Structure 1
Amino acid sequence: MIIKDFRREFYDVIQHQRVLVLVAFDVDAICACKILQSLFQCDQILYTIVPVSGREELERAFIENSEGIKHVIMINCGANIDIVEELQPEEYIKFYICDSHRPVDVHNVFNAVQIKLLMRSSELSVPEYDEVFRDDDEESDMDSGNDSDESETQSSRKRKKFDDAAIERRMEKRKWEENRNKVLFEYMQFSTYGTSSALLMFELAWKISKDSNDLLWLAIIGVTDQYIHYKTPREKYIEDVMALQSHVSRLNHKDDEDIISINCLKIMYDDELQLTMYRHWSLFDSICHSINMACKFKIWTLKGQKRLHEFLAEMGLPLTQCKQKFASMDSSLKTNIRTMIQENMNKYGLVDEDVILPSFFAQYGFKNKLCATDVTCVTVAILEHVEKGKTPTDSFLKAMDVLSRSNTAAMEKGLELAKRQLQAIITQVQTFLDMHQVISAGPFLYAFMQEGAPDVKLFAHQQCVMRMARFTLEAHCSVSRNKKARNLPLVLGVPLDSEKGTILVIGIPPLSMDDERKNFFGKAFEQAAASTNCRTFHDLFDTFIMEMKSEDRSKFFDALISLLN
């Protein structure tokens, strides 16, 4: 059931109760969790936070931590699973699901007793109840009276009438089931995303008058995470940014700036260059590792490198300045960098959307000025970097910790991890293109990373493989002579566990569908695996990513090709 009043139907209900919070492994979920954690600390609500990466962990975490719990909050997990069927909870346990994954399982939508959805109802387009659920009365219409009082003719006539009615009911039921399957397929066909969970939690904090700049910054990072991981289209991102901007104006408006302590967090809205971490890197390296710019210049080719050098020269930027740290550049060049790029971009086939992104900056003290996109990249890098002898939960806690503004040392370390991740992505994409490993299978493109490739373990994570798939698709389309390339989706495979012989497979939609960001691979993967009995593992909350046995690869792809044809 969809909740309309988050405060009355959710927050007031869990007051003075101990709650279990199950959180997915993504930045938006971590930000939403930290906002909720702040509210719980204000109101002294007891809570247990458990990170979960997939359905198996979700089930295990619930079983291990549900003793004495009446309220379970699920952040970016659980919406697209029939929770009651999956977890078999006691009747008194209530689930509050704040999840941006769409579509939402119909059982969760229509369960008014145990499931409460913390979502915007305007974003859900659910089938009618009667189309997917049916109450069948199998009561016999046969007269229970004594047949001995009736003549044989009357009895046979009555039986025939009953048989006709039963046949009619069965035909009606079959038609209804056929229609139900069609309606459900159309509803479940595409994976999409709704509003950021962090933004919804911030709006709750605002409604109960407990909002602050720190919580607003977390909401901004949650919205940014959705955009840079290709979950929401640019139009939706800008819509959310406009909503956030009104809060930024409200919370950062002061009549006398002198009264603000230098250690206070200040948030500013401004247009940002779409150059990854350029303030913490050299301008040249940032351009080479930013998807839009790298693909426009084709920087993996000698011709592309030459064009980039020409572009920088035309802007009046010496190569020595561009290749040193941005912080060490000449101050007159640094301050005008955005204007210089905008003035010269048209000649090189760049448009505003490639170069400029409306975004936010946070500043505390004199040095610590951070852009939301940079913080998101750092948090992802820490979340997906599992050190030797450590567990994914340790990385989750470090990612939560880096979002605390006092933790500048962790932020510095995270910046280096994020750079390394991007360098590995660009190296691998260049390998794909040099070796002509992006192949057209007819209805889609596919590429497979070789076993034993450098930094292969970096790509065995959802967010990183998502960005690499997108980079690969854009890079291939920028060099391909096939005009249909932009209309083709991409399937990418990455070695996962050499001992078990498994690979991680992701499917992403074509570039021509960027305005909608609808992904049909979740259903396609399920159907292709079912038709061939391939050993696949659909555990992740993002249904378009799955694990598969390496040996089943060829028969799975044959099935996928025939299905999508």
Structure 2
Amino acid sequence: MYVKNLKQDFYEFLAAKRILLIANYDIDSICTCKILQPLLKQEYCVYTLEVVKNTDDLKRVYHENCDDVKYFVLINCGGTVDILECLEPEEDVLFFILDAHRPTDVYNIYSDNQVRLLCSQESDVNVPKFHDIFTEDDESENEEHESEKEDSDEVEDRAVKRQRLEERIIRRREKRIWEQNREEILRKYAQYTYYAYPSAITMFNLAWKLSKDDMDFLWYAIVALAEQEVLGKIEDSNYVLETGTLQSHANRLRNRTADNNLATSTKIEFEKDLRLALYRHWTVESSLKYSTYTACKLKLWSIKGEMKLHELLVDMGLPLVQSKQNFSSMDLDLRQEFLSKLEKFSEKYGLTDIIYSTFTLSYGYRNKFTASDYVYALIAILDASSSDKNPQECFHLALDCLSRTKKEVLHSALERAKNIITTLFKTVQNALDMKRVISAGPFLYYIIQEGSTGWQLLSQPNILFMLAQFLLKAYVSTSSNRKAQSLPLLVSAPSDADKGTCILLGVPPLCEDSTKNLFGEAFQQIASNINCDTFANYFDTSYVDLHIKDRTRFLDALTAIVL
């Protein structure tokens, strides 16, 4: 059930109790933990933090701790599955679930005893009514009672018996119709997967109501929102609404602190910025070339596109020598005029949406970062570092990355992020040049082969998601097929070479204003239809693991469903 008063029924309820904090391996969970951990310490809560990637990890962590802990706080995990059926807990165990994945499982919504949902009810769209999907099954008892009565009454009139038989048939027919309607209601409710606003914003709002919020808490919420914007998990209209609310908090906190010392003050500004990846920490030429927006608009994977990029730099009055230097090393006047000059020539080069509004964090004399800078850094830590560190270590390193006292962690992650962005561009360039984006009729697909450049990096979920969106935009920008914009894309990469498995991800078409994804439900339906082994235990069901030998059969079956 939904918790209406987070302060009373969650925060104060858990005071001085021992809890297990289970966080999903994603950026929003990192930001949420950075807010929640200090709040729990202030209430003398004894907690342990565990990191999970999928439902198998969730089951393992729960069963390892269920004997010692009775209160579990789940962040971005557990909301989309029937948590009681999944974990089979004792009756005295209580789950507090804060999950941005949608749709929320109806059994979690209508569980009055052991499940507490910390999200708002409004964030779940078209939740079925209780009486439309749940009913007391007393028909068998009624029929048994009527049979006993018929056996005991040997002299009962035949007309009465016939009437009772007809009533029983009518009840059975009504039950069958109700069950059919129930299946249809649940199918429509679970048809699309999508994201609600970040869990970190919910935690920040709790801190605000407790009068415990500060600039750092606000920045964590901003980074979580920026992750949804960078990865295309949020609609533009919702992004504008959320940034407006966060901007008002930034103004309030700035007025409250009133620290004008440049060396110690922390400032969060809402301002115009460029859709260029890491340009303040990179060279202008590299950022322009490898950023998804400019690469797709100017088709920078082609010789003609590179010529157009050089023409743009000439029009801006930016010497090639300066554009190849780090942005911080460029002449001061060129740095100050870079945004305005690029905006001036944006319409000429078809870059009409290159300007957007975002938040920047400034502290000290030389530290200025956009929210997207932190997003790329955190992705680099979570995915690019996973080969030599376990998830728990990467998660804690990402927590350190958000701390202003650990600048070396952030700068190191930004360097790895540049390698990720470059690898994505080269993969897209190769896919287009070799014509490896295949049209299967109702969708497109692209397969990354084992042994290809960067395949291990690209098999990580966040990076694969970035590749899928980059590749779809690039394909649409170059394709002569009028239907290309209405086609979704499937991308597959090897996930475990020893087991012979691959990861498969589906993203919606560009023509859709909504970020809702239909592949989650489709993957589950295909797995049951063709009887192949899939490992659909991701919290985001638009991902699925399956054996490479079953991939072709899986895609063929998907063709029939998407049609």
TM (normalized to structure 1)?
0.96
Map of 1:336 onto structure 2: 337
Are 1:80 and 1:102, in contact at CA under 8 Å, matched by a contact in 2?
yes
Deviation at 1:33, TM superposition (A): 1.1
Equivalence map 1:401-550=2 (5 Å): 401-513=400-512, 515-550=513-548
2:84 aligned residue: 84
Partner of 1:133: 134
Q: What is the CA distance between 1:264 and its match in structure 2?
A: 3.5
Q: SS of 2:426's equivalent?
A: helix
Give 1:217 deviation, angstroms. 0.8
What is the distance in 1 between the residues matched to 2:161 and 2:92? 46
Shift of 1:143: 7.2
Q: Does 1:218 align with 2:217?
A: no
Map 1:244-393 → 2, pairs under 5 A? 244-253=246-255, 258=260, 260=261, 262-351=263-352, 353=353, 355-386=354-385, 389-393=388-392
1:164 offset after TM fit, Å? Answer: 2.3
Cα distance in 2 for partners of 1:139, 1:451 equals 59
Superposed displacement of residue 230, structure 1: 1.1
Cα offset for 1:432?
0.6
Measured in 1, the distance between the counterparts of 2:34 and 2:192 equals 30
Matches of 2:82 and 2:43 in 1, distance apart?
31
**2: CA distance between counterparts of 1:505 and 1:2?**
33
Uncovered stretches (5+) of structure 2, i.e. residues with no partner: none
Residue type at the aligned position of 1:218? Y
- Equivalent-residue separation in structure 1 for 2:159 and 2:76 (angstroms): 60
- In structure 2, the CA distance between the partners of 1:143 and 1:465, relative to structure 1 (3 Å rule), is closer
**2:201 counterpart SS class:** helix
RMSD over aligned Cα, in angstroms? 1.6
Q: Distance in 1 between matches of 2:392 and 2:386?
A: 11
Shift, 1:439, TM fit: 1.0
Q: Report Cα offsets for 1:324-365 as digits up to 9, x if no partner.
A: 1111111111101111011101011121x3x12211111221
Partner of 2:196 in structure 1? 194
Deviation, 1:14, is 0.7
The answer (yes or no) to whether the contact 1:385–1:395 under 8 Å persists in 2 is no
SS of alignment partner, residue 435 of structure 2? coil
Separation in 1, partners of 2:151, 2:135: 33
The aligned residue for residue 553 of structure 1 is: 551
Q: In the alignment, what sits opposite 1:12?
A: 12
CA contact (8 A) 2:527 2:533 kept: yes
Match of 1:564 in 2: 562
Does 2:241 match 1:242? no
3-12 vs 195-204, greater mean Cα deviation = 3-12
Q: Partners of 1:120 and 1:255 in 2: how far apart?
A: 30
* SS in structure 2 of the partner of residue 201 of structure 1: helix
Identify if the C-alpha distance between structure 1 residues 160 and 292 changes in structure 2 by more than 3 Å, giving closer, same or farther: same
CA distance, structure 2, for counterparts of residue 362 and residue 442 of structure 1: 46
Code of the aligned partner of 1:210: K
Letter in 2 for 1:142: E
Give the whole-Å Cα distance in 1 for the aligned partners of 2:509 and 2:9: 40
Structure 1 residue identity aligned to 2:101: H
The one-letter code matched in structure 2 to 1:549 is H
Please tell me whether the aligned partners of residues 259 and 265 of structure 2 are also in contact (alpha carbons under 8 angstroms): no
Hey, what does 1:142 align to over in structure 2? Answer: 146
CA contact (8 A) 2:262 2:365 kept: no
Tell me which residue corresponds to 2:40. Answer: 40
Hey, what's the Cα distance between the residues in 2 that align with 1:464 and 1:95?
Answer: 31
Distance 1:552 1:257, change over 3 A: closer
Which deviates the most, 167-176 or 132-141? 132-141
The residue type paired with residue 181 of structure 1 is E
Number of matched pairs: 559
Residue 23, structure 1, aligned to residue 27, structure 2:
no
Distance 1:445 1:388, change over 3 A: closer
1:546 is paired with a residue whose SS is: strand
Stretch moving more, 197-206 or 227-236: 227-236
Amino acid corresponding to residue 504 of structure 1 in structure 2: I
Cα distance in 2 for partners of 1:388, 1:333 equals 40
| Residues 1:479 and 1:158: Cα distance change in structure 2 (over 3 Å) | same
- Provide Cα deviations, 1:10-66, integer angstroms capped at 9, x if missing partner: 111111111111101110111001100011122221111101100000111111122
- Tell me the secondary structure at the aligned position of residue 8 of structure 2: helix
| Superposition deviation, residue 484 in structure 1 | 1.0
Equivalences for residues 156-235 of structure 1 within 5 A: 156-235=158-237
Is the Cα–Cα contact under 8 Å of residues 55 and 541 in structure 1 kept in the other structure?
Answer: yes
Q: Is the CA contact (8 Å cut-off) linking 1:271 and 1:356 kept in structure 2? A: yes
The one-letter code of the counterpart of 1:543 is T
Question: What is the CA–CA distance in structure 1 between the aligned matches of 2:216 and 2:160, rounded to whole Å?
Answer: 75
Taking only the aligned residue pairs, the percentage that are identical comes to: 39
Counterpart code for 1:178: Q
Q: Give yes or no for contact 1:231–1:517 (8 Å, CA) kept in 2.
A: yes
Distance change in 2, residues 1:145/1:530 (3 Å) = closer
Cα distance in 1 for partners of 2:154, 2:406 equals 92
- Within 2, Cα distance between the matches of 1:518 and 1:551? 29
Instruction: Give the drift of 1:245.
Output: 0.5
Contact 2:150–2:156 (Cα < 8 Å) also in 1:
no
Partner Cα distance (2:97, 2:259) in 1: 41
Contact 2:506 2:543 in 1 (8 A): yes
Q: Distance in 1 between matches of 2:219 and 2:97?
A: 22
CA distance in 1, matches of 2:355, 2:50: 37
Residue 48 of structure 1 aligns to a residue whose secondary structure is: strand
In 2, distance between residues paired with 1:163 and 1:272? 74
Whole-Å separation in 1 of the counterparts to 2:258 and 2:239: 32
Q: Which secondary structure state, in structure 1, belongs to the residue aligned with residue 271 of structure 2?
A: strand
Q: 1:279 Cα shift?
A: 0.6
1:171-209 deviation line (CA, Å, top 9, x unaligned):
111101100110011000001111110011000000011
SS in 1 for 2:255: coil
Q: Distance in 1 between matches of 2:253 and 2:264?
A: 16
Structure-2 separation of matches of 1:275 and 1:553: 35
Counterpart of 1:189 in 2: which secondary structure? coil
Amino acid at match of 1:262: A
SS where residue 252 of structure 1 aligns?
helix
Matches within 5 A, 1:93-112: 93-112=93-112
**Aligned residue type for 2:331:** D
Find the aligned partners of 2:535 and 2:452 in 1 and give their Cα distance. 23
* Greater mean alpha carbon deviation, residues 130-139 or residues 249-258: 249-258
Change (3 A) 1:358 1:167: same
Q: Secondary structure at the match of 1:507?
A: strand
Residues 522-545 of structure 1, C-alpha deviations (whole Å, 9 max, x = no match): 011111222111221101001011
Q: Distance in 2 between matches of 1:256 and 1:111?
A: 46
Q: C-alpha distance in 1, partners of 2:271/2:545?
A: 41
* Letter aligned with residue 467 of structure 1: M
Decide whether the 8 Å contact of 1:386 with 1:392 is kept in 2: no
Q: CA deviation at 1:389?
A: 4.9
Equivalent residue number for residue 72 of structure 1: 72
Mapped partners of 2:330, 2:389: distance in 1: 39
Moved more, 361-370 or 26-35: 361-370
Q: CA deviation at 1:71?
A: 1.6
Q: Which amino acid aligns with 2:555?
A: F
Describe the superposition over 1:432-463 as per-residue Cα deviations: whole angstroms up to 9, x where unpaired.
Answer: 10100011111001111122011111112111
Structure 2 Cα separation of the partners of residues 254 and 410 of structure 1? 30
Contact 1:142 1:159 in 2 (8 A): no
CA distance in 1, matches of 2:527, 2:151: 55
The 1-side partners of 2:508 and 2:386 are apart by 32
